[in-house]
Amino acid sequence: MTGRKRRRAPPPAPPPGGLLDWTDPSVHWSRHERPCRYCGFPTHLRDSRRSPAHKVCAEYALATQAAEAAEAYHQNGRLHD
C-alpha cells in the first residue's frame, strides 16, 4: 500500500421533508397506537428500534442532541468530559 488514505463518500442528502426516511411501512408503522416516547401523544409510527415515535419528534430529538454535542465540543474542546 502507498499509505494514502481513501476519502469517504459524502453522506447522502436527507430525503425531502426531513432528516429521517420512514417510507418503509413494514418498519415504521403499527396497527396499534402507543404513546410517543418524546411527546406522549398517541402514534402508529415506530422508529428504527420499533419504539413509538412521531417522525417530527424523533427529528427534533436528533437535532437537539446534535446541537448539545456541538455546544459541548465548543465549550470543552471535546465531546465528553
Cα distance between residue 75 and residue 81, in whole Å: 10
Whether residue 81 is contained in a domain is answered as no
Give the total number of structural domains in the chain: 1
pTM for this prediction:
0.65
Burial class of 58 by CB neighbour count within 10 A (0 to 12, 13 to 18, 19+): buried
Whether residue 30 is contained in a domain is answered as yes
What per-residue confidence (pLDDT) applies to 53? 95
Whether residue 41 is contained in a domain is answered as yes
pLDDT at 1 over 60: no
For residues 18-23, give the mean pLDDT: 76
pLDDT tens readout for residues 50-65: 999 999 999 888 888 8
Whether residue 51 is contained in a domain is answered as yes
Averaged pLDDT score across all residues of the chain: 80
What per-residue confidence (pLDDT) applies to 32? 95
H or E stretch covering 31:
strand 29-35
Amino acid at 33: E
Domain boundaries, position 53? 25-76
